[in-house]
């Protein structure tokens, strides 16, 4: 299994600083949560981690591979789910997964089985030959989740995986996240849902205006927020982001 | 609170729609489009006049031909009407206008006036250019050309009303829509084509007047009758009144329909997600087992082209182009105007350009960019998958033109020799322009689903992209054009011994195409790898 190492990460677009000196370490098999208000820089951070964006400064290593210097090695071990995954609507579910498996280097012998098993676990077997364009949002999300793990990654980067899903699909996705964590996959998860963060993440980082304002386990965050021992993550989050806003 | 009166609400709606649609950048892009359209109309009318002069085509056949061309517009609008886009309704209309107490009849009138204004503003210049050229041929006045242009505008407006009416009636006709669409289209084509066939067989003139049942025939007969000076004033007046009756009738029908069916538009209106796909399921055609990743990438692209109807659109366009090219080659313009021949090469090239622009949607780049595949190689595979159907569909046209050219023109040896370069160039140019456009799509290409397409910033990016693309594509194909124009001089200079120099020029031209395509596609790959606006 592999760890995620982020050190002194910055990202600027001209004068606009999207990320400022972000550092954290996510141990092998850990589920690390990223919380933050809209526009805090969470998606930018995740995009840099998976190699979609280049950092202005800093280091990102996945399983010891630098995403900038050795992108091929790093991308081999990472799976990514964007916030609003856009898929090839003109392909069927099976074709899309075959395509992703092939460009991710999954060998032919395991590709067919891998696709079938994943579709079965998400109850999508009967939709195998459906065009992605004809699927509901929840189904598309399931297809995108399968695509993100088709190559058996040891690191998973999930950007708001439960956004706009109905309760049944949310439950399925939550179980899936739990099963991935159970397999020892390192997960970096961005979410607005405090309940998910609290129940699945071993550690959390709260990010605001491109900076990490607090990180650690829930008790550590409580201390930093000067919240009581009964304070839930909602209260902690509000206190920490308010503080950051005041600063 | 009192209901807002129609005379207040209609101008308000139009004013805000105009503000949304005609931004400064949108107007610049429309202006550029208008210039290109006028140039094309002039070129096409010149070709048709050469053709009709050479084959002594009378005004009757010209009317029928123009009626046929106008029927394509009508068929397009009938189709869009049945597809539910005859009365364009935006998300903003649904959320804010439809939920307001504004009368549906007022919204309909405002929509129709808005669309009519657009048609009047943008269709008149090319139509005026067309009739002006024809009026010069028949030695009639500029005023007559302007009146003929206005008559055609009435027809265009009538088409808009028909399309809107069809969309408004969709809620009522429901499951019969598909059948009615086919009946409508077959009827228009039949009534337009029958006189065409009968006039060639020498059937009595009364049969040819069949086209006057339909507005496209009336518009063609009136406008061509005006500019050619061939029809009597009474007949022209009668035809024009009939056309106005069509217009008025369809407008009244639309207003009546809008009172009862307007809000069904909300159900008809489907949010457009990505490119249009007709089917909902299919067996896997990818078959990845035992194949290389690049072969799978190529197959994926071919499947997408097929399912998003891009391939069908390409073949339809090629069909129209081949008809035009046959008329062009028969018109004798090859010999008389080398510039118009280069223009034809450019039109062929624009097919490649159009094909190249559609290959990318930025929101799907995450699928590729989070993997280890080489973007340079990926772009080249996509190019191969897209360029082969394009060239395969263009090749028969070029062969047909070649046959017409050699068979109908009393050409000398030097002209025949220069064909060694001309025909490959007709394929090289679309390929080069496709490569160029793929690069620009890689650099500026946006999502087709994002709202960003509606913003002014995006319009500005589109204009910049269009201008850069046109300039760079012209620069890319210029050496081939030069070699083509130079080949005739070489053939003339060397006479019978020009085979070797011409073949050397051909090798040079092919080598140039190969190298430039490699460079531009590598640049496209690098551009995608570097893109950060994801």
The residue ranges of every structural domain in chain A are 4-77+153-246, 88-152
Q: Report the percent of chain B where pLDDT is more than 90.
A: 22
Cα pseudo-dihedral B56, B57, B58, B59, rounded to 10: -140
Rounded average pLDDT over B430-455: 72
* Yes or no, beta carbons of A51 and B370 under 8 Å apart: yes
Does A82 contact B at CB distance below 8 Å?
Answer: yes
* Yes or no, beta carbons of B303 and A95 under 8 Å apart: yes
Tally the residues of chain A.
Answer: 247
The 3-state DSSP class for residue A216 equals strand
Kindly identify which residue of chain B lies nearest to residue A91, measuring between CA atoms. Answer: B304
Confidence category of residue B442, pLDDT binned at 50, 70, 90: confident
Does A64 contact B at CB distance below 8 Å?
Answer: no
Confidence category of residue B353, pLDDT binned at 50, 70, 90: confident
Instruction: For residue B241, tell me if it sits in a domain.
Output: yes
* Yes or no, beta carbons of A134 and B368 under 8 Å apart: no
Instruction: For residue B413, tell me if it sits in a domain.
Output: yes
B491 and B412 fall within a common domain: yes
For chain B, how many structural domains are there in total? 2
B217 and B301 fall within a common domain: no
B241 and B312 fall within a common domain: no
Last residue in a domain, options B235, B253, B268: B268
How far apart are the C-alpha atoms of B470 and B468, rounded to whole Å?
6
Instruction: For residue B285, tell me if it sits in a domain.
Output: no
Confidence category of residue B448, pLDDT binned at 50, 70, 90: low
pLDDT at A57 over 90: yes
pLDDT at B155 over 90: yes
pLDDT at B454 over 60: no
Query: Quick one: pLDDT at residue B249?
Result: 93
Question: Contacts of residue B377 in chain A, CB cutoff 8 Å?
Answer: none
pLDDT (tens digit per residue) in B393-421: 888 877 777 776 666 665 566 666 777 88
User: Mean pLDDT lowest for which of A146-155, A199-208, B29-38, B381-390?
Assistant: B29-38
* CATH hierarchy code of domain A4-77+153-246: 3.40.50.300
* Yes or no, beta carbons of A90 and B307 under 8 Å apart: yes
Instruction: For residue B260, tell me if it sits in a domain.
Output: yes
More confident residue, B404 or B283: B283
User: Mean pLDDT lowest for which of B35-39, B117-121, B201-205, B377-381?
Assistant: B201-205
pLDDT at B92 over 80: no
Nearest to A130 among B281, B303, B371 (CB): B281
Bridge-based pairing of strands A31-35 and A186-190 is parallel
Q: Using alpha carbons only, what angle is made at residue B478 by residues B475 and B479, rounded to the nearest 5 degrees?
A: 120
Bridge-based pairing of strands A57-62 and A4-13 is antiparallel
User: Mean pLDDT lowest for which of B304-308, B430-434, B475-479?
Assistant: B304-308
Reading the block at residue B339, the tokens are 């510039």
B144 and B87 fall within a common domain: yes
Rounded average pLDDT over B333-359: 67
Does A72 contact B at CB distance below 8 Å?
Answer: yes
Q: How far is A129 from chain B (nearest CA, A)?
A: 5
pLDDT (tens digit per residue) in B48-73: 888 888 777 778 888 888 888 898 88
Confidence category of residue A24, pLDDT binned at 50, 70, 90: very high
Q: What is the DSSP string of B194-244?
A: HHHHHHHTT--HHHHGGGGGSHHHHHHHHHHHHHHT-S-HHHHHHHHHHHH
Structural domain for B230, as ranges: 7-268
- b/e B248-270 (16+ beta carbons within 10 angstroms → b): eebbebbbebbeebbebbeebbe
Rounded average pLDDT over B32-60: 83
More confident residue, B275 or B285: B285
B78 and B167 fall within a common domain: yes
Nearest to A102 among B274, B284, B296 (CB): B296
Bridge partners (DSSP) listed for residue A26? A4
Kindly identify which residue of chain B lies nearest to residue A130, measuring between CA atoms. Answer: B281
How far apart are the C-alpha atoms of B297 and B283, rounded to whole Å?
18
B105 and B251 fall within a common domain: yes
Instruction: For residue B274, tell me if it sits in a domain.
Output: no
Question: Contacts of residue B293 in chain A, CB cutoff 8 Å?
Answer: 102-103, 105
* Yes or no, beta carbons of B288 and A108 under 8 Å apart: yes
B406 and B500 fall within a common domain: yes
Does A20 contact B at CB distance below 8 Å?
Answer: no
Predicted ipTM > 0.90: no
Question: Contacts of residue A111 in chain B, CB cutoff 8 Å?
Answer: 288-289
Instruction: For residue B1, tell me if it sits in a domain.
Output: no
More confident residue, B448 or B199: B199
Confidence category of residue B451, pLDDT binned at 50, 70, 90: very low
pLDDT at B329 over 80: no
Rounded average pLDDT over B130-147: 92
More confident residue, B31 or A65: A65
B189 and B312 fall within a common domain: no
* Yes or no, beta carbons of A103 and B293 under 8 Å apart: yes
Mean pLDDT of all residues in chain B? 81
* Yes or no, beta carbons of B364 and A86 under 8 Å apart: yes
């Amino acid at each position: 299994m592999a760890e995620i190492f982020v050190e002194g990460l910055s990202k600027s677009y001209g004068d606009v600083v999207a990320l400022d000196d972000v550092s954290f370490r996510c141990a092998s098999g850990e589920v690390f949560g990223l919380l933050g208000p809209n526009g805090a820089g969470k998606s930018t951070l995740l995009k840099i981690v998976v190699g979609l964006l280049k950092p202005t400064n800093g280091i990102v290593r996945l399983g010891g591979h630098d995403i900038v210097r050795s992108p091929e090695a790093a991308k081999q071990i990472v799976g990514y789910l964007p916030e609003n995954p856009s898929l090839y609507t003109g392909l069927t579910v099976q074709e899309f997964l075959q395509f992703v498996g092939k460009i991710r280097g999954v060998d032919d012998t395991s590709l067919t089985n891998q696709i079938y098993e994943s579709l079965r676990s998400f109850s999508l077997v009967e939709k195998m030959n459906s065009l992605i364009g004809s699927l509901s949002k929840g189904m598309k999300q399931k297809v995108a989740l399968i695509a993100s793990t088709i190559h058996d990654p040891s690191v998973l980067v999930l950007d708001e995986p439960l956004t706009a899903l109905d309760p049944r699909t949310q439950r399925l996705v939550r179980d899936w996240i739990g099963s991935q964590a159970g397999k020892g996959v390192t997960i970096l998860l961005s979410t607005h849902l405090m309940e998910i963060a609290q129940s699945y993440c071993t550690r959390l980082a709260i990010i605001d205006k491109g900076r990490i304002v607090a990180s650690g386990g829930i008790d550590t965050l409580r201390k930093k927020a000067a919240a009581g021992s009964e304070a839930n993550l909602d209260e902690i989050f509000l206190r920490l982001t308010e503080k950051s806003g005041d600063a | 609170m009192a209901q807002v009166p129609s005379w207040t609400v209609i101008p308000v709606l139009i004013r805000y729609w105009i503000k949304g649609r005609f931004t400064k950048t949108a107007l610049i892009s429309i202006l550029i489009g208008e210039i290109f359209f006028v140039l094309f109309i002039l070129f096409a009318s010149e070709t048709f006049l050469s053709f009709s002069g050479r084959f002594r085509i009378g005004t009757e056949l010209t009317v029928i031909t123009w009626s046929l061309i106008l029927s394509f517009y009508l068929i397009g609008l009938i189709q869009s009407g049945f597809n539910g886009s005859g009365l364009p309704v935006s998300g903003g209309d649904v959320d804010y206008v439809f939920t307001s107490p504004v009368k549906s009849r007022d919204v309909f009138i405002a929509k129709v006036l808005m669309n009519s204004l657009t048609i009047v503003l943008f269709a008149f210049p090319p139509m005026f250019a067309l009739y002006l050229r024809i009026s010069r041929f028949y030695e009639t006045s500029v005023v007559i050309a302007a009146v003929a242009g206005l008559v055609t505008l009435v027809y265009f407006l009538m088409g808009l009303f028909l399309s809107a009416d069809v969309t408004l009636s969709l809620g009522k006709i429901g499951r019969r829509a598909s059948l009615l669409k086919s009946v409508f289209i077959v009827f228009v084509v039949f009534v337009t084509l029958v006189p065409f066939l009968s006039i060639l067989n020498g059937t009595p003139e009364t049969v040819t007047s069949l086209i006057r049942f339909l507005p496209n025939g009336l518009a063609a007969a009136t406008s061509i009758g005006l500019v050619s000076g061939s029809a009597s004033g009474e007949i022209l007046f009668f035809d024009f009144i009939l056309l106005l009756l069509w217009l008025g009738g369809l407008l009244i029908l639309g207003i009546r329909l809008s009172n009862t069916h307007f809000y069904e538009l909300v159900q008809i209106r489907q949010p457009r997600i990505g490119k249009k796909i007709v089917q909902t399921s299919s067996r896997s055609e990818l078959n990845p087992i035992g194949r290389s990743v690049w072969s799978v990438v190529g197959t994926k692209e071919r499947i997408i082209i097929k399912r998003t109807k891009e391939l069908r659109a390409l073949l339809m366009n090629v069909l129209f182009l081949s008809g035009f090219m046959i008329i062009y080659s028969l018109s004798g313009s090859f010999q008389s105007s080398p510039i118009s021949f280069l223009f034809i090469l450019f039109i062929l090239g624009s097919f490649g350009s159009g094909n190249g622009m559609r290959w990318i949607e930025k929101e799907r780049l995450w699928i590729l960019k989070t993997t280890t595949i080489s973007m340079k190689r990926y772009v080249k595979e996509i190019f191969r998958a897209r360029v082969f159907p394009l060239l395969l569909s263009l090749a028969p046209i070029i062969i047909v033109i070649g046959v017409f050219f050699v068979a109908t023109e009393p050409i000398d040896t030097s002209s025949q020799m220069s064909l060694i370069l001309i025909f490959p160039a007709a394929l090289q140019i679309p390929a080069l322009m496709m490569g160029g456009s793929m690069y620009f799509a890689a650099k500026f290409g946006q999502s087709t689903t994002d709202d960003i397409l509606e913003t002014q910033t995006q319009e500005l990016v589109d204009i910049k992209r269009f201008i850069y693309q046109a300039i760079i594509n012209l620069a890319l194909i210029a050496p081939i054009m030069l070699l083509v124009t130079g080949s005739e001089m070489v053939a003339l200079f060397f006479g019978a011994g020009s085979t070797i120099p011409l073949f050397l020029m051909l090798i040079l031209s092919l080598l140039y195409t190969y190298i430039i395509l490699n460079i531009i596609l590598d640049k496209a790959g690098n551009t995608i790898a570097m893109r950060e606006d994801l």
